[in-house]
Amino acid sequence: MKQNTTPSTKSFGIVGYPLSHSLSPLIHNSLYKEKGIDAAYSVFESPELNRKKIEELISAGVEGISVTIPHKETAFSLSDRADSASEIMKASNTLVFRNGSINAHNTDGEGALRSVLESFPDSLETGKTLILGSGGSARGIAYSFAKSNRLRELLICSRNETTGKEIADLIGENSPVRVGYVSPTSIFDFRNEISLVIHTTPLGMKGQAPGPFLETDFFHPGIVLFDIVYNPLVTPLVSAAQESGCRIIPGSEMLLFQAMKQFELFTGTIPDERDILNTRKRLAQALNGR
């Protein structure tokens, strides 16, 4: 969606690589238009994020950016101030530039938690929650879920044992939740104890390796799968879970709710239920066309 801009138009955008799949401009620019906010949201695709890139954006008048793969840990490292999720988990998906300061926020966890609470809240309490992956998204999600006071136990499973154990240690040090790292080769041993699986890696995303992360016979009807990949909505992991009778939370829900919080951080305006419903419809239409 192209915006008509003036010298007073506020500028925001998204930084990551690749970004051809991103629906963030659709979300934010549509909300600006509907709510009469003089702002524009652009794509700043870049394989690198560093201090020079941030300074270029600020010099161009950009007041805030969404940050996606692979720059979330770098975004935190470049910040002057950070919210608690970013500070503890060392990853941020939002940078706001105000009064000469780079302020880091992590809305991934809040967006993911709200997605689960509005879809299948029982999945948080009937068994263990399993997070697949140990990148920037996994960090924010693990933090918010651990702080929710809803979990029985949290398991982190990633191919990178070092970062997976690091997340488990950070959660263990900063919350009362029982948490542990499990290797991909041993995760099947916990199959019948798990009620919620949250997949946070790029596997299955358009243009990335298809996966799935787990063997297809891992799933059973007692599991809720939340794959945060939204393009396509039906990844190999989602397909395997559906065939086993699992309930599914689409990745577009996290995209929706984390963007609502980013919109608030950028503009100071809190989206209402109508904004959420309209954005959900727009996302569904856009994804159905892909």
| 215-233 residue pLDDT tens | 889 999 999 999 999 989 9
| Pair (55, 97) in one structural domain | yes
pLDDT for the residue 152:
84
Model's pTM, two decimal places?
Answer: 0.92
Is 290's pLDDT higher than 80?
Answer: no
| Pair (261, 233) in one structural domain | no
Share of the chain above pLDDT 70, in %: 98
Instruction: Give the Cβ contact number of residue 99 at 10 Å.
Output: 5
Asked whether residue 1 is domain-assigned, the answer is no
Is 188's pLDDT higher than 50?
Answer: yes
Rounded to an integer, what distance in angstroms lies between the CA atom of residue 287 and that of residue 290?
5
Tally of CA atoms within 13 A in the half-sphere of 59 that contains its CB:
6
Mean pLDDT of 9-26: 94
Q: How confident is the model at residue 139 (pLDDT cuts 50, 70, 90)?
A: very high
Q: Which of 35, 53, 72, 90 is catalytic?
A: 72
Q: Number of folded domains in the chain?
A: 2
Is 192's pLDDT higher than 70?
Answer: yes
Is 1's pLDDT higher than 50?
Answer: no
Is 79's pLDDT higher than 60?
Answer: yes
pLDDT for the residue 285:
94
Q: Strand order of the sheet with strand 154-157?
A: 179-182, 154-157, 128-132, 194-199, 224-227, 247-249
Q: What is the DSSP letter of 194?
A: E
Mean pLDDT of 135-151: 94
| Pair (136, 243) in one structural domain | yes
Instruction: Mark whether 72 is an active-site residue.
Output: yes
Rounded to an integer, what distance in angstroms lies between the CA atom of residue 122 and that of residue 68?
29
pLDDT for the residue 3:
59
Rounded to an integer, what distance in angstroms lies between the CA atom of residue 135 and that of residue 157?
11
| Pair (58, 181) in one structural domain | no
| Pair (226, 118) in one structural domain | yes
| Pair (79, 208) in one structural domain | no
CATH of the domain at 266: 3.40.50.10860
Asked whether residue 3 is domain-assigned, the answer is no
Q: What is the DSSP letter of 218?
A: G
Mean pLDDT of 142-155: 94
| Pair (203, 145) in one structural domain | yes
Asked whether residue 129 is domain-assigned, the answer is yes
Share of the chain above pLDDT 90, in %: 89
Q: 205 versus 141: which is more confidently predicted?
A: 141
| Pair (88, 162) in one structural domain | no
CATH of the domain at 225: 3.40.50.720
Q: 186 versus 208: which is more confidently predicted?
A: 186
| Residue ranges making up the domain that contains 171 | 109-249
| Pair (125, 207) in one structural domain | yes
Mean pLDDT of 60-81: 96
Asked whether residue 115 is domain-assigned, the answer is yes
Q: How confident is the model at residue 289 (pLDDT cuts 50, 70, 90)?
A: low
Backbone angles phi, psi at 151, to 5 degrees: -85, 145
| Pair (33, 82) in one structural domain | yes
Instruction: Choose one of 234, 249, 264: the last residue of a domain.
Output: 249
pLDDT for the residue 13:
98
Is 20's pLDDT higher than 90?
Answer: no
Annotated binding site for shikimate: 22-24, 68, 93, 108, 230, 258
Contact (Cβ atoms closer than 8 angstroms) between residue 55 and residue 102: no
Asked whether residue 183 is domain-assigned, the answer is yes
* First-to-last C-alpha distance (Å) of the chain: 16
Contact (Cβ atoms closer than 8 angstroms) between residue 119 and residue 253: yes
Read off the pLDDT of residues 80-112 as tens digits, 9 standing for 90 and up.
Answer: 999 999 999 999 999 999 999 999 999 999 999
Rounded to an integer, what distance in angstroms lies between the CA atom of residue 260 and that of residue 119?
17
pLDDT for the residue 231:
87
| Pair (145, 260) in one structural domain | no
Q: Residue 209 is encoded by which pair of tokens?
A: 């390796």
Is 2's pLDDT higher than 70?
Answer: no
pLDDT for the residue 271:
97
| Pair (243, 129) in one structural domain | yes
